[in-house]
Amino acid sequence: MTTAQPGNSSESSPNRAVPPVNTAGADGMPAAQGVAQPAGTDGRAARPAYAADLTNPAGADEPTARPAGTQVEIYDTTLRDGSQQVGLDLTVEDKLRVAAALDSLGVDVVEGGWPGSNPKDAEFFARAGELPWRHASLAAFGATRRPNRGADGDPDLAVLLAANTPIVTLVGKAWTLHVDEALRTTR
């Protein structure tokens, strides 16, 4: 399907053919799938890399159907990353309301934060089981074990397991600054 673009004279003359949208890269070659495309001269904004996978390879404006059996899962970090804004101080009740709202919106995974970081987060995880989860799964966030300590004796990992969530998300610090300064261990 070809549609009129803003500024085209075909908008006022429906019998005039409109050229298809240019999907070629800056070098004139067809745009590669999975590669971000620069803004074009056709008035469209730059396409992020994933958008190339959603457009019809023939250059039509309609998105193609997703292959059978594929789905996108939404993992929301509002209650951890989003609540770290300066001046924002969510109560346990606030966090429970946000979690319930995310669940009602159809978010797949709600990351509740780190249950061992403070008493407020510990209470949130203790009370989150009272919510009538209809769609989302609750995730507890934490880190891999500390250096010179076994996983079976790591109190941080024990707190994650005690949170009794269906998902535990672990971050492994690998950036040299984290290894040297935060973990204070060898590379």
pLDDT digits (tens, 9 = 90+) for 125-179: 999 999 999 999 999 999 887 777 888 888 999 999 999 999 999 988 888 888 8
CB atoms within 10 A of CB 96: 19
129 & 175 share domain: yes
**Residue 101 pLDDT class (50, 70, 90 cuts):** very high
11 & 92 share domain: no
Res 142: pLDDT: 94
Task: Return all residues near 110 (Cβ < 8 A) that are at least 6 apart.
Answer: 76, 78, 79, 99, 102, 103, 136, 137, 138, 139
Q: The CATH number of the domain where 159 resides is what? A: 3.20.20.70
Check residues 10 and 89 and name the one with the higher pLDDT.
Answer: 89
Domain count, the chain: 2
Domain interval for residue 168: 75-182
